[in-house]
Structure 1
Amino acid sequence: MPNPSRSQPRVALVTCAKLPELDEDDRLVAPALAALGVEAVPVVWDDPAADWDAFDLVVVRNPWDYTLRREEFVAWAHRVPRLVNGAAVLEWNTDKRYLAELAAAGVPVIRTDFYAPGEPPRLGDTGTWVIKPTVSAGSADTEKYDLTWPQKRALAGAHVARLHGAGRTAMAQPYLSAVDTYGETALLYFNGVYSHAVCKGPMLSGRVTDETGLFITEEITPREPTAAELATAAKVLAAAPGDLLYARVDLIPGEDGEPTLLELELTEPSLFLGHGEGAAARFAAAVTARL
């Protein structure tokens, strides 16, 4: 258990072996917490020597290598004390089939078809579709295919077959053209309070992987969300489970022009702290409020 006689609280910032000192953006958290009298330490999630009881709070940040070991990661989350976001939230959010639950709850979600291993995909022969596994991060194993071309349909089918061969469930979503013009709007919330938003440019064209191989690099710029985007994000969060330290709501205009949910990131999202004035300080204050 944390030492009650210690005057300075300690917070673990969870990361992975490829980013032992955290992602560049999350390195802004430690000095912001230090300014509030809290010591923050990066800790690799699967390090057998990690002493989680030595921390007053464990904040999930960059464990971006968990996707091929989801069961191990979820089991780890259920063992760690004082974890935020909590283990039940992480278990729900690390499988993108949660989108079906949100759609059933009335949230405007992009159309998403799921294909479990052994279930043949029904992709059709029109439109451009994105294929990816239901357990993924950083656009890994994600590709788009113009199904009007027979060779692209064959490649899409082969993509699903590869995922099924690895025992993974595949998902297909229409590629919305607004991503190439308007982009995605990512809205960040700390302890349920809106902090800031960014515009994310298209990731599946001219894709460049970062040096760790963990994610596809993105073009990020600050964005002022519209009233409709804020209202949609509020509806998404109202349907989400758990008590959330952090949440990122990724929206894009649908075919009708209205904001549509692409992803609700509650596990290890980039918070883009460097793209919102005062965002690191707001996140640090949210973390401190949990101590």
Structure 2
Amino acid sequence: MPKIAFATYTELPNLTENDKLLIPHFEEKGFIVTAEIWDNPASDWEQYDIVLIRSTWDYYLKPEKFQSWVSLFIDSKTKLLNAPEIILKNSHKFYLKELKELGVNIIPTIFSSENINLEDLKKWKKVVIKPAVSAGSHETEVFETETLTSEILDSKIGEGDWLIQPFLEEIQNAGEISMIFFNGNFSHAIQKVPKVGDFRVQKQYGAKYLKFEPSKDLLLIAKNIVEISGKGSTYARVDGVMTQNGFLLMEIEMIEPDLFFDLYPDAAYIFCQEIVALPFQNPKE
């Protein structure tokens, strides 16, 4: 029987409730399903036909270790999903610079690798400063540019890579839109609305997740982003904000995104179907 591992982390050894919805679908297809902690040195990844990254939610705290783990699958007969090359590139948000150069409308961004003029930031009332390797709003802060000094900025972005973006009131008011694609095909979408007075769109900060029906124009934009940045991805989540200037990309998440199967249970079955249809070499007995 083929074997699939759902890669998770130490805080969720038995997976999220969302990801548990996948298990019966894979078992119906004849797979043996196991939850494996991604950085457990005792794990034997070669025993699996497929390793599906689901809730490796501490990867950004151990970026070098995570990159080494992902690289194990580059020449392996075990198929990592998404593919190692996609995961490695997507783990550092400076990929947004490349997307911008390719014509994707991203949230206006200043990258810490560039020369930053403090006065240039004052064209925005507030800025959001976030790490280039991060998840779940980790170390993300909002600063009033009027009171932002060189000392404060240097202490924030002195080490590592960072993104500086304008604070968008639209996020606080209408939230963020997430559109999910499986093998390049649109599946479903949600709207993540922060609690009153907050800007963070994660549930642990009190945000609400609602079903969302994107327009045809918005879907075309999202599909184009996936074709540019996520070609070959088994799953991709396009996150962005609707503004007076149209849809602005926040990120395309292809590592361990929540896929919201609780809101769209049928999508779990479709996702399983898409994975089972993929070719994988020499199934282990």
Shared fold (TM-score greater than 0.5)? Answer: yes
C-alpha distance in structure 2 between counterparts of 1:90 and 1:68, whole Å: 16
TM-score, structure 2 as length reference: 0.87
Match status 1:158 vs 2:134: no
- Would the aligned equivalents of 1:131 and 1:159 in 2 still touch at CA under 8 Å? no
How far did residue 117 of structure 1 move?
Answer: 10
Tell me the alpha carbon deviations over residues 114-136 of structure 1, each in whole angstroms, 9 at most, x when there is no partner.
11499676532642211111000
SS in 1 for 2:139: coil
Say which of 217, 228, 239 aligns to 1:250: 239
Q: Aligned residue for 1:52?
A: 45
Say which of 185, 193, 198 aligns to 1:201: 193
Match status 1:271 vs 2:259: yes
- Would the aligned equivalents of 1:127 and 1:147 in 2 still touch at CA under 8 Å? yes
C-alpha distance in structure 1 between counterparts of 2:52 and 2:154, whole Å: 34
C-alpha distance in structure 2 between counterparts of 1:85 and 1:207, whole Å: 26
Match status 1:10 vs 2:17: no
Q: 1:232 to 1:40 in 2, by over 3 A?
A: same
- Would the aligned equivalents of 2:172 and 2:198 in 1 still touch at CA under 8 Å? no
Q: For structure 1, which runs of at least 5 residues remain unmatched after alignment? A: 1-7
How far did residue 158 of structure 1 move?
Answer: 2.9
Alignment of 1:112-131 (within 5 A): 112-116=109-113, 123-124=121-122, 126-131=124-129
C-alpha distance in structure 2 between counterparts of 1:160 and 1:196, whole Å: 41
C-alpha distance in structure 1 between counterparts of 2:138 and 2:153, whole Å: 12
Q: Aligned residue for 1:179?
A: 171
How far did residue 242 of structure 1 move?
Answer: 4.5
Say which of 162, 170, 175 aligns to 2:162: 170
Q: Aligned residue for 1:89?
A: 86
SS in 2 for 1:267: coil
C-alpha distance in structure 2 between counterparts of 1:131 and 1:193, whole Å: 32
Residue identity opposite 2:226 in structure 1: L
C-alpha distance in structure 2 between counterparts of 1:125 and 1:259, whole Å: 21
Q: Aligned residue for 2:98?
A: 101
Tell me the alpha carbon deviations over residues 10-54 of structure 1, each in whole angstroms, 9 at most, x when there is no partner.
111111111111122112111221232222211111101111111
TM-score, structure 1 as length reference: 0.86
Residue identity (%): 32
- Would the aligned equivalents of 2:184 and 2:227 in 1 still touch at CA under 8 Å? no
C-alpha distance in structure 1 between counterparts of 2:99 and 2:199, whole Å: 31
C-alpha distance in structure 2 between counterparts of 1:33 and 1:132, whole Å: 37
Q: Aligned residue for 1:4?
A: none
C-alpha distance in structure 2 between counterparts of 1:146 and 1:202, whole Å: 20
Q: What RMSD in Å do the two structures reach over aligned CA positions?
A: 2.4
Q: 1:37 to 1:56 in 2, by over 3 A?
A: same
- Would the aligned equivalents of 1:249 and 1:265 in 2 still touch at CA under 8 Å? yes
Q: 1:286 to 1:119 in 2, by over 3 A?
A: same
C-alpha distance in structure 2 between counterparts of 1:77 and 1:135, whole Å: 15
C-alpha distance in structure 1 between counterparts of 2:151 and 2:58, whole Å: 26
Q: For structure 2, which runs of at least 5 residues remain unmatched after alignment? A: 281-285
How far did residue 228 of structure 1 move?
Answer: 2.0
C-alpha distance in structure 2 between counterparts of 1:193 and 1:147, whole Å: 41
Match status 1:288 vs 2:276: yes
